[in-house]
Amino acid sequence: MRWDAHPDGIRNSNVAVLALPAELTDLIFELVLHEERSALFYHRNKKRNHPWTELSLALVCRQWRAVAVETTSLWCTYTFVGQARDLATSLGRLEGYLGRSYPRPLDLLLDFVTILEPLRHLSAPRLEHFQVETNDHLSDFARPPTKPGVYINSLSPTIFQAGAPKLSSFWLQPSLYHCCCPPTANITTLHFTFHEHDLFGSGLGFEAFQHVLRLPTLENLSIKGDLLSVAGACDFYSHPETYHMPRLQNLRLQNSPLLLDALPCLRAPALGSLILEDFTLFDVPDNHIPNYHFPSLRSLALIDHKTVAIQHWSERPLFFYHLTQKITHLTVSQRDAFGDWIVQEVMNTDRNIGPDLLVATFNAEGSWHPEDYVELGNRRICGCSGIALHIPERLLQRWKDGITPEFPYSKIEAAFREIQPISDDESDLILSRNFPPGNTVALIRNGLGLDKGFHSMNWFTMQDNRIAPGPYFHHVSFCFSLTI
């Protein structure tokens, strides 16, 4: 159903669409709003005569207004584009959004340029989650105000300087670190997005990044992109150090070879979940691997491993071997033509990969040979309860249809404790969309065009299913976009 939301778009007359059940009307509203929010927020708001979709829906008739007011997902995003002097006049509208979105948290989308100065000295006693990301067009003020060879090497706050004692989750593009660094005293979740072609560099020095690795409260770290824009990052190679991260529990890296190489230098005794995407395990040389490894690691996810010559596997398998010695859950997802060999090498290596493995999830486009999977299962039959295998539904059906006569399904089934299908609709959901796993507050939205997901275009859910108890602003995520 396509409809341009204007107050006069549908008259208050006797038409069938006005008599739909409230549940169906609710779904239509959410679909309309989903399509509208796919555009960058400031495009619509700079058109003064173009009303907001949620307001348009509420002005059609009494029935639609009643449904719209009760549909909390329509009111979970408050957008402000204007001058700082206009903030006071919009407080009444903001209060309305707070009431209608409750108990869900409210996303505040603000024009970053006009709101930055008030943020510097703002006190945010109940702010828990903060995210800032630029669009593709960096303005001059986003350029780090440093001279060549001079970089930011501290974590001194540049916003919320009056205090943000409950701030625990922080998502940042490092090129904005100079103007958007909040207090980090209680940060438990941190996400960095490094852009490969950052015109101005990050302005972030390696010393500052070392401070990040040494944050005493850090429990969840997610990094997308390599550290090439961080001055002195090559010291990971030339002067390897040990980084003690006593509370780190979840680590996620995408296309970060420098950090992958530095993994053996991390001392993270509580690390239980490691996600590696768009990587090459052979980047980690054997002579860089100490005796220490993550003693609490139970979940390992390998997403889109970069293709290398197969013979290299026998040359540098130690790092991967040590990573798997305590894991109980292994996830391998490969969405290219080379997805079969990574599965084969995981299963057929001479070393005993994952001796305590309980659940193995494979989503490899090109790997369908049952003998590879049976090899993995048979190695666990003796002395343990066996492995639960999760594979795509279409692959399981091929096995049941007897695609390989020498491996009837009964033989495959006997190698595992159980075999569970992954439906086609769920193949991109083999890992939690939210980070850290189990988190109910997803700060990234594909619809805003901020941060594309790990491995899947829909890694972070478009639907706002975040139910947060407590008073207004108890769970508030600030999303800022630069407008030129």
Considering only 113-117, 158-162, 374-378, which range has the smallest mean pLDDT? Answer: 113-117
When pLDDT is cut at 50, 70 and 90, the band that residue 88 belongs to is low
pLDDT digits (tens, 9 = 90+) for 415-444: 899 999 987 665 555 666 567 776 655 444
Is 269's pLDDT higher than 80?
A: yes
pLDDT digits (tens, 9 = 90+) for 405-419: 888 898 899 989 999
**Mean pLDDT of all residues belonging to the chain:** 70
Is 387's pLDDT higher than 80?
A: yes
| Percent over 90 (pLDDT), the chain | 9
Q: What is the three-state SS of the chain?
A: CCCCCCCCCCCCCCCHHHHCCHHHHHHHHHHHHHHHHCCCHHHHHCCCCCCCHHHHHHCCCHHHHHHHHHCHHHHCEEEECCCHHHCHHHHHHHHHHHHHHCCCCCEEEEEHHHHHHHHHCCCCCCCCEEEECCCCCCCHHHCCCCCCCCCECCCCCCCCCCCCCCCCEEEECHHHHHHHCCCCCCCCEEEEECCCCCCCCCCEEHHHHHHHHCCCCCCEEEEECCCCCCECCCHHHHCCCCEECCCCCEEEEECCHHHHHHHHHEECCCCCEEEEEEECHHHCCHHHCCCCCCCCCCEEEEEEECCCCHHHHHCCCHHHHHHCCCCCEEEEEECCCCHHHHHHHHHHCCCCCCCCCCEEEEEECCCCCHHHHHHHHHHHHCCCCCCEEEEEHHHHHHHHCCCCCCCCHHHHHHCCCEEEEECHHHHHHCCCCCCCCCCCCCCCCHHHCCCCCCCCCCCCCCCCCCCCCCCCCCCCEEEEECCC
When pLDDT is cut at 50, 70 and 90, the band that residue 70 belongs to is confident
Q: Pick 476 or 133 by higher pLDDT.
A: 133
* Range picked from 56-65, 92-101, 158-167, 452-461 for highest mean pLDDT: 158-167
Give the pLDDT mean for 333-345: 66
Domains, in order of start, for the chain: 264-431 (3.80.10)
pLDDT of the residue at 41: 47
When pLDDT is cut at 50, 70 and 90, the band that residue 250 belongs to is very high
pLDDT of the residue at 1: 39
pLDDT of the residue at 121: 82
Q: Pick 88 or 285 by higher pLDDT.
A: 88
Q: Pick 134 or 267 by higher pLDDT.
A: 267
